[in-house]
Each structure stands twice: as C-alpha cells, then as structure tokens.
Amino acid sequence: MTDTEVISLLRDAVWLTIKLSAPALMVSLIVGLVISIIQTTTSIQEQTLTFVPKLLAVLVVSLLFASWMVHSMTDYTRELMRIIGKH
C-alpha cells in the first residue's frame, strides 16, 4: 500500500466522520441556541435546562438518519476491505 493510498483512506475516514456527525451536531447547536434565547428572554438561568432538549433532539436525528449512517459506514468498510484484500 502506497503513501498516497493511506493518505486517501485517512482523508476519506475524516470526511465520513464529518458527514456522519454533522446532522446531530447541527441539530444540537440549533436547539441549544433556541433554548439560550428562551432562557435570555425569560431570565431563567438554569444551566441544566438545555441538556434534555438537546439529548432528545440528537436521539431523534440519530433515529432518522440511522439508515443512511449505517449505509455510509458499510460502504466505506467494504471499500477499505477491498483495498486491503487487493494488497
């Protein structure tokens, strides 16, 4: 396996990690922002208030995107095994 192939595999792994984590991170960011705005407008300064809505939102997004995530990871793993088996 050449250095170029290893770098390509690592680049693909990092890109896949970004793609798979992006939906959950974006939803968590948006929910946190909305809760922060609500806390600011109502003067409620409870720090633990944001955890439950974020947790539920990330759970829902994970359930909605689970099929796509598993399919993406499976495709990457198959490609990785194909490349390893070739050498």
CA distances from 36 to 4, 24, 27, 52, 71 (A): 45, 18, 14, 13, 35
Our count of domains for the chain comes to 1
Distance CA(27)–CA(5), nearest Å, equals 34
Task: State which residues form the domain around 45.
Answer: 3-86
Residue 1 scores a pLDDT above 90: no
pLDDT at 87: 72
Has this prediction a pTM greater than 0.85? no
Q: Which two tokens stand for residue 58?
A: 């990330």
Mean pLDDT of 67-75: 97
The pLDDT tens digits of the residues spanning 18-66 come to 999 999 999 999 999 999 999 889 988 887 888 999 999 999 999 999 9
Q: List the end-to-end C-alpha distance of the chain, in Å, as a whole number.
A: 7
Range from 2-6, 7-11, 43-47 that averages highest in pLDDT:
7-11
Q: What is the CA radius of gyration of the chain?
A: 19
